[in-house]
Amino acid sequence: MSSGVAEKNMSVPTHVAIIMDGNGRWARERGLPHLAGHKAGAEAVARCVRAAMQRGVPYLTLYAFSSENWSRGPQEVSDLTSLLRYYLRHKVRELHVKGVRLRFIGELDRFDASLREELERAEDMTRDNTGMVLLLALSYGGRCDIVQSARTLARAVKAGTLEPDDITEAMLANHLWTHGVPDPDVVVRTSGEYRLSNFLLWQSAYAELVFLDVYWPDFTEGHFATVLDVYARRERRFGSRPVASA
């Protein structure tokens, strides 16, 4: 099966992570219900995935449902989870054919059993694919991610299999939900907001940040190209001498 990812260009980031913001405001400004904004946002996801594959990005993470989203109104939460269920049932095979591997990160046990089964099926179907890895952050919070990793290490210390002084950054990173995935090179947020909003806090320590003044439903392949162009012009310092992206 074709990998679905173009040959790697060194000026292209290995991992792009996106905070998809603005669905609600997009809908309100058009006098539409929130659900219309989320549906339009799902169409933008398809454009983004297509652009990432065409540009040869190996890893793409999309912030689809934050842990804070549970506090929204019951109807909107229901709309979001129903939309997720629809795409799991009707769009996963299309991604599978293209060689995309799906991973879901976050407090997945907060979803009902039937939706968790859908998530597991999608991961199982695409597990052996060798194309782009698409991570969807669902019921995800960066602080919670760090806490659950720390708890894992704490249990090892309590069991006597790990000394506290032996804990390293790499060890903690290996127990994050993103284990095995390179840290993002660039984190993008749409809608004109300038916050990380509890997204990949540990992993984004040295990521380039790009903020776009466009609502997520209006995000196009052209916006994705803009992100890559901005990234290619940045000098990545990592706290020391500059390292060119290109």
Domains of the chain, first to last: 15-232 (3.40.1180.10)
What's the pLDDT score for residue 1? 38
Active site residue 21: yes
For 60-71, how does the pLDDT look when each residue is reduced to its tens digit (9 = 90+)? Answer: 999 998 988 888
Amino acid in position 21: D
Which residues on neighbouring strands pair with residue 66, listed in sequence order? Answer: 140
Q: Strands 235-236 and 243-244, how do they pair?
A: antiparallel
160 is in an annotated binding site: no
195 is in an annotated binding site: yes
35-49, 78-92, 215-229: which range is least confident on average? 78-92
What percentage of the chain has pLDDT greater than the value 90? Answer: 82
107 is in an annotated binding site: no
Active site residue 69: yes
For 24-34, how does the pLDDT look when each residue is reduced to its tens digit (9 = 90+)? Answer: 999 999 999 99
What percentage of the chain has pLDDT greater than the value 70? Answer: 92
Quickly state the pLDDT bin for 8 (edges 50, 70, 90): very low
24 is in an annotated binding site: yes
68 is in an annotated binding site: yes
Record the pTM.
Answer: 0.90
The residue written with tokens 């760090």 in the block is: 146
What's the pLDDT score for residue 3? 42
Q: Give yes or no for residue 106 having a pLDDT over 90.
A: yes
Give the Cα separation of 134 and 128 in Å (integer).
Answer: 13
Q: What value does the mean pLDDT take over residues 164-183? A: 98
Amino acid in position 213: D
Catalytic residue among 21, 79, 145, 185: 21
Q: What value does the mean pLDDT take over residues 39-62? A: 96
Q: Give yes or no for residue 13 having a pLDDT over 80.
A: yes
DSSP per-residue string spanning the chain: ----SPPPPTTS-SEEEEE---HHHHHHHTT--HHHHHHHHHHHHHHHHHHHHHTT-SEEEEEEEEGGGGGS-HHHHHHHHHHHHHHHHHTHHHHHHTTPEEEEES-GGGS-HHHHHHHHHHHHHHTT--S-EEEEEEEE-HHHHHHHHHHHHHHHHHHTSS-GGG--HHHHHTTSTTTTSPPPSEEEE-TT----TTSSTTTTTT-EEEE-SS-GGG--HHHHHHHHHHHHHPEE-TTSS-EE--
Q: What value does the mean pLDDT take over residues 204-212? A: 97
**Rounded to 5 degrees, what angle do the CA atoms 187, 19, 110 make?**
125
Catalytic residue among 69, 174, 198, 218: 69
50-89 as b/e: b if 16+ CB within 10 A:
ebbbebbbbbbbbbbbbbebeeeeeebeebbbebbbebbe
